[in-house]
Homo-oligomer: A and B are copies of this chain.
């Protein structure tokens, strides 16, 4: 049954093909009628010329409604004027099913209306472009690490401890073992992986039961987290730079058409090349002060602060060495100033906020024990993690990149809800 795909028509010019798909649109002009067929790989117009084909076949034009499924046979013609550059001189048509009153029409629909019909909304040209960019980003991420000798070490989704409280955790009963919690990050497991394989990454869904209703929050989102033994903060920053360059340049190269369809101005994306801008937290605070933002040293940056900082740069900006107090217990302190953590965030330009967060990890057992106590965390939950410092501890670093924020930034989207096939948010669990 397979037949030919629209994306391969250039190999069949002058030949006869069979195509299968759905009606994207149709138009009529006197004796000539056009069926726009979409098959998931593209859209092509099929031409019906009165007199050239049977009356019955010509009449099937009227039956076909938007998203009806049908197959056609016909000759492939190169035509500069046609969308996609080719058209089909239709000689046979078989209708599979007539769609009655397809709800998503070319007119404007509200976002909730579309979100309720996400399973159909995915058929639209805009969603196609976004999902193709998403796929390319994910492939680029895996290719980047696979090509550099990293080993994939999938971290578990079900985890046994709620070490920082359960307020942002999804929990479930786990047989007779009590509660399990959906992972918020695979990092600690990736660290175990790095001690075994040197260079590793994990890549999977992560969860936050945050009661946020912003355009940047999903309760289920995908994250990639590389972790490298013997990498210090500087090595980590260099890895993040190369990584971002690779992702963005791969999308620009392979998804130019999609970015054009999304009307994405790619100027800032083209700038994503090593070296990116690098500033310390202190320098970032200076920027905020110069711009008249009321901000106190020691606080974490809010969304608006991030936007003000990133607006000063024409590419992503790396911010390093944050106050240790606002960062996680496992981050190593700066030997030159123990008030600072060897943390690094990368802020995307154009107000897209933090897309990468990482650090060098504390590798000294005694210091880490002290941090766990200071943060009032239960040491027992970390015994296995502490083993990584007991048995061959080494300097190591890593970071996490959120896929959906990256898709949103690269595609230039207002809201993360379009960046994943079936988004999960505080008010949305369906379809």
Please report A residues at the B interface, Cβ cutoff 8 Å: 1-3, 5, 7, 20-23, 39-41, 67-69, 71, 96-97, 99-100, 102, 117, 119-120, 122-123, 127-128, 131-132, 134-135, 138-139, 142, 146, 149, 151-160, 170-175, 177, 180, 182, 189, 192-199, 204-205, 207, 209, 211, 219-220, 222, 229-232, 235, 363, 384-385, 387-395, 420-422, 424, 426-427, 429-431
Q: Which residue of B lies closest to A393 (CB)?
A: B97
User: Given known contacts A20-B394, A391-B67, A422-B189, is B232 in contact with A1 (CB within 8 Å)?
Assistant: yes
Q: Which residue of B lies closest to A8 (CB)?
A: B149
Contacts of A135 in B (CB 8 A): 146, 151-152
Q: Which residue of B lies closest to A170 (CB)?
A: B172
User: Given known contacts A120-B387, A395-B1, is B154 in contact with A222 (CB within 8 Å)?
Assistant: yes
A405 to chain B, nearest CB (A): 15
User: Given known contacts A158-B219, A220-B158, is B134 in contact with A392 (CB within 8 Å)?
Assistant: no
Cα distance, A102 to B231, chains bound together (Å): 24
Cα distance, A158 to B208, chains bound together (Å): 12
User: Given known contacts A170-B172, A232-B1, is B7 in contact with A149 (CB within 8 Å)?
Assistant: yes
User: Given known contacts A175-B211, A180-B429, is B392 in contact with A22 (CB within 8 Å)?
Assistant: yes
User: Given known contacts A135-B152, A230-B20, A235-B1, is B40 in contact with A196 (CB within 8 Å)?
Assistant: yes
Partner of A231, one of B1, B172, B173, B421: B1
Q: What's the number of copies of this chain in the assembled complex?
A: 2
B392 touches A100 (CB 8 A): no
- Known contacts A1-B230, A119-B384; 18 additional CB pairs below 8 A are A1-B231, A5-B149, A97-B393, A102-B391, A119-B189, A119-B387, A128-B196, A135-B152, A138-B152, A139-B142, A153-B421, A156-B424, A158-B207, A160-B429, A171-B173, A175-B426, A180-B429, A204-B205
Contacts of A158 in B (CB 8 A): 170, 207, 219-220, 424, 429
Cα distance, A198 to B153, chains bound together (Å): 31
Contacts of A235 in B (CB 8 A): 1-2
The 10 A-B pairs at the shortest CB distance, nearest first, are namely A40-B198, A384-B431, A119-B192, A40-B197, A69-B392, A122-B196, A99-B391, A156-B422, A67-B392, A97-B393
User: Given known contacts A235-B1, A391-B102, is B421 in contact with A189 (CB within 8 Å)?
Assistant: yes
Cα distance, A403 to B149, chains bound together (Å): 21
A419 to chain B, nearest CB (A): 11
What are 30 A-B interface contacts by the 8 Å CB criterion?
A1-B230, A2-B231, A5-B198, A22-B394, A40-B197, A40-B199, A40-B229, A97-B389, A100-B390, A102-B392, A119-B189, A119-B195, A123-B195, A123-B196, A127-B196, A135-B152, A138-B152, A156-B424, A158-B207, A158-B220, A160-B430, A170-B173, A171-B172, A172-B172, A175-B209, A175-B426, A177-B427, A189-B422, A193-B421, A384-B430
